[in-house]
Amino acid sequence: MNTFPVHLPQTLATVAELKGGPQFLDIHGNVVETGNLSPKIAQEPLLAETYEKLLTSRTRKTAGAFYTPLDVAEKLTEVAVLEGPVVDPACGGGIFLLSAAKRLAALGGDPKEIARNQIFGSDIDEWAVAVCRWELAHWAGIEPEEVQGVTKADPLTEKPSGWPDQFGAVIGNPPFLSQLHRTTSRTADRREELRSRYGNLLKAYTNEAWLFLAMGLELLAPQGQMLLIQPLSLIGARDASEIRKKILTEASLVGLWVDQSTVFIGHTEVCAPIVRNSLIDKKQVVRYTGRTIQEVSSVEQPSDPEDWGGLIADLMGLPSTEFTGSGQVEHKATTTAGFRQHFYGLVPGVSEQKEEEIKHPLITTAMVDPFNCLWGQKSVQFDGKKWERPVVDLNLVAEFDKAVGEWMRKRQRPKLLISTQTKVIEVVVDEKGDWVPLTPLIIVEPQEEDLWALAASLSSPIVSALAARQTAGAARSVSRITLSARQLLNLPLPSDKQALNEAIEIAQFIHKSSDRNLERSWLLFGETINRAYGTKNKDLISWWWNRHPEARKQNK
Ligand SMILES: C[S@@+](CC[C@H](N)C(=O)[O-])C[C@H]1O[C@@H](n2cnc3c(N)ncnc32)[C@H](O)[C@@H]1O
């Protein structure tokens, strides 16, 4: 087990001395005394790496302080930095800034001049700032206090004084502060502070890292380039839509690096958009992957902020999605989903079905199998208990919570239920209209005559592929489709009515069948409904079938 030294500044000063170079100064310019410590961690090539190891895991999590490996920072800098001055707005120990300084030197600059006048950075952690200054000073052969451009500040709320108006490059790896976790979610004061500066870019689930993109864009000189490492969720998350739009409308996306979990601790999937501050006519996005930042084929810049999934679809093994549609789900149905209150509001009304009792079956996500509702066929968990045939007394629900009771009553009509977080879209059909859906199921309510047409269309391989593409990166991994009720509305409907009718017949056959092996019927369904969408892509069927729950059953 590692034992970390208690006197952090003294340790940094000692390690700095061991590495040779200038004295270690705090951010006020005071020399920090060295001690007798000779920690093993001093073996790291950079002082920044030593410092990162000295942080407690809690500090690292709350500040998002996971430094970039030097080799990755160097390669990304080579791709993105074409000229100075360069800024890293969340510079940590300066791994990116050191890479940038070396890059500017390779482009012909003098190291001393670069470290004094071309390199800028900020961090809220004053010891990280001291480490960063020392790192640059050590490299350039100057004193840390001469590295004036690196300061303690929070540039999201105020631009540090002393920075130039514009930069040739903005680079770095800003903190990933997800709002889905308690340790990293912002306080009400912070929300207000950020809202006044970023307006509608700030949503409930806006990751702080995305805001650095908006701020960085304001710092760029014309033709300047920005590369900031981001969580992969930037590509598909609903609350990142405004920032994606800002990039597309105010600048150009000229590159994108994508890494699936090989670089950062905890297997965080990351990407890094490369944004140029100019509106380019012929918009190609050069793509890079993996730890070696290998260049792969380019794709066209998306025109729609909702279609960034297309930038990475093929890299994630998603099939191409050409089709001919006729209208969208919103033309035939409404969609909705309950919230927490609709989940907990059902608790007082649920009981096990007694013989002959007529009540509403409770349908949970675990009961949804494509075209087949497993109510009464498998036990499920709800409210910490196991249930065999759970039913709901809606009067009782309404007694405890009138709003939830009314909401559930309104859902008592023929409908489709769709489970979220699945590998393909899975749909069950409530023909009678008496099921009670449990959150987070999505509810689709079409006219009765369109019930099966929508069930078949939403169960098609092409619609699953489109949904996977749209939400690529939004979930932790592309292997799950995480559609919202609103996103469902935009999915396309097929244009070939005859093929659609054939597909509906097969779907109903599968629905009624008690056969154990339905592989042939499912494949026929997939081909027929694809025909209804005018898609001829053979890979699409095998992609869909490989992910289909029925195929998994056959392989067991
Ligand atoms: C992921 S680390 C990256 C550091 C460095 N850019 C690198 O790539 O190694 C993020 C850094 O952001 C700092 N940080 C967190 N919130 C910040 C804020 N609002 N403004 C500036 N820096 C911040 C943390 O202290 C941490 O050093």
Both tokens of residue 460? 């098609």
Residue 60 CA, ligand 1 centroid: distance in Å: 10
pLDDT, residue 201, reads: 94
Please indicate whether residue 90, judged by its CB atom, sits closer than 6 Å to ligand 1: yes
Q: Is 305 exposed, middle or buried (0-12, 13-18, 19+ CB in 10 A)?
A: middle
pLDDT, residue 219, reads: 97
Distance CA 304, CA 235 (A): 12
pLDDT, residue 93, reads: 95
pLDDT, residue 473, reads: 65
Both tokens of residue 523? 């494949």
426-478 pLDDT, tens digit per residue, is 999 999 999 999 999 999 999 989 999 999 999 999 999 999 888 776 655 55
Both tokens of residue 254? 């000229």
pLDDT, residue 180, reads: 72
Give the DSSP H/E element, type plus range, for residue 131.
Answer: helix 126-140
Q: Which residue CA neighbors atom 2 of ligand 1 most closely?
A: 65
| Domains observed in the chain | 8-312 (3.40.50.150), 325-555 (3.90.220.10)
pLDDT, residue 38, reads: 59
Are 8 and 32 within 8 A, CB to CB? no
Please indicate whether residue 88, judged by its CB atom, sits closer than 6 Å to ligand 1: yes
Confidence of residue 2 (pLDDT cuts 50, 70, 90): very low
Number of Cβ within 10 Å of residue 300's Cβ equals 11
Mean pLDDT of 43-59: 85
Query: Whole-prediction pTM value?
Result: 0.81
Please indicate whether residue 67, judged by its CB atom, sits closer than 6 Å to ligand 1: yes
Distance CA 69, CA 85 (A): 22
Please indicate whether residue 49, judged by its CB atom, sits closer than 6 Å to ligand 1: no
pLDDT surpasses 80 at 538 = yes
